[in-house]
Amino acid sequence: MSRRIDPGVHPGSPSRPACPMNVLERLDRAPRLAPEEAQILESVRALARNEIAPRADGYDRSGEFPWENIRALNRLGMNAMFVPEAWGGAPMSFTAYLACLREISKACASTGGIWATNFHFTKPLLEFGTDEQKRRFLPAIVGGGLGSLTITEPGAGSDATAMRTEFREEGEEIVVTGEKCFITNGAHADLYLLFGKWRGIADGRRAISVLVLEKGTPGLAVTREEEKLGLRASSTAALALDGCRVPRANLVGAPGDGLKILLASLNRSRPGIAAHALGIARAAFEDAVGYINERRQSGRRIIEFQGVQFMVADLATELAVTEAWLWHVARLVDAGETDFGVEASMLKLRASDLAMRITTDAVQLFGGYGYCRGYRVERLMRDAKITQIWEGTNQVHRQFIGRSFVKR
């Protein structure tokens, strides 16, 4: 984890003169990181500039899984960030995780989503798994394996309690039957944190349980990989679970503990979605500001028109305020707070809406060029849309935030 990569020149979009962004540069220094964490973040930034960003467009066009990017992250040992030393890791703060995720997502949103999903898999296992389960499964993640948080079903999206996947106990085994869809890393995961309902518990919410399903388990099949609008290099798969037999030792917690585990998982994954969205937003903002400082209309640079300056001012202000809230939520988590669900929903909601707004306005500022491939704002706009949908649609988050103010 201490390996340092020398910073290089950003290859990104067509070269443009550097533009002053002192406010955002100061904001980048806002996360409170330990010296080793700051060193890792600089290594990630260099890796993102020099290796991940130059490959992003090619992976978007081909739709191929970005193995080169994943291998590059594994060379830095990035998965070790999630895991305590007792199981082979080199743990770092939640703030450091979000900072790294934002930089990776800024370079390639698909790669950022893939890497973040390893955290989404690991954190619930750390909180609720047994020492034996951690000993068995966590070293695989530290070594570069891929995890998957496996929740969504055709009839159970934002309302995960409607899931129908069944866990049936047979002696020392659990038989799993059902289907899942829209599963990130689904076609390539080594380990799945799988949610379903325990047969014999009548209450649907109390029946939700969770276990670790291992790659290669008989009865587990990838039935489809989605062709998506954005995040095209990230595997989003449908899975069939046809009588998969899983050792009872793979059950995380007790039967019926799944809803508690699920809610705890989402409260920590939603800030990750926000960091992912803000990485996309920052990339689009920087590209747009660079372009309008260079492009001329009617003998003037586009940035010199007052209407454009007002647009940039609004976007920069929203970006600064939302990123400040990202670091606020990160500090809550690092301080050991457990009741931050509303703050996490506010963050996910605001960051994802802002990512869609900034990328859309960036395309507008690029004019016809922004609508064509060749400038990455077109890709960033497509990548941004999913952040308003997954980990709970923004309509659901607004409802949750509003309900929190109802007096009881």
Catalytically annotated residues: 391
- CA 258 to chain centroid, in Å, comes to 21
Residue owning tokens 């999903």: 117
CA distance 2 to 90: 10
Q: Which two tokens stand for residue 91?
A: 């743990």
With a CB cutoff of 8 Å and minimum separation 6, the contacts of 221 are 239, 240, 242
CA distance 159 to 156: 6
Q: Which two tokens stand for residue 207?
A: 């029946």
Which three-class secondary structure state does DSSP give residue 34? Answer: coil
Cβ(209)–Cβ(256) below 8 Å: yes
- If you count them, how many residues does the chain have? 408
With a CB cutoff of 8 Å and minimum separation 6, the contacts of 314 are none
CA distance 18 to 384: 24
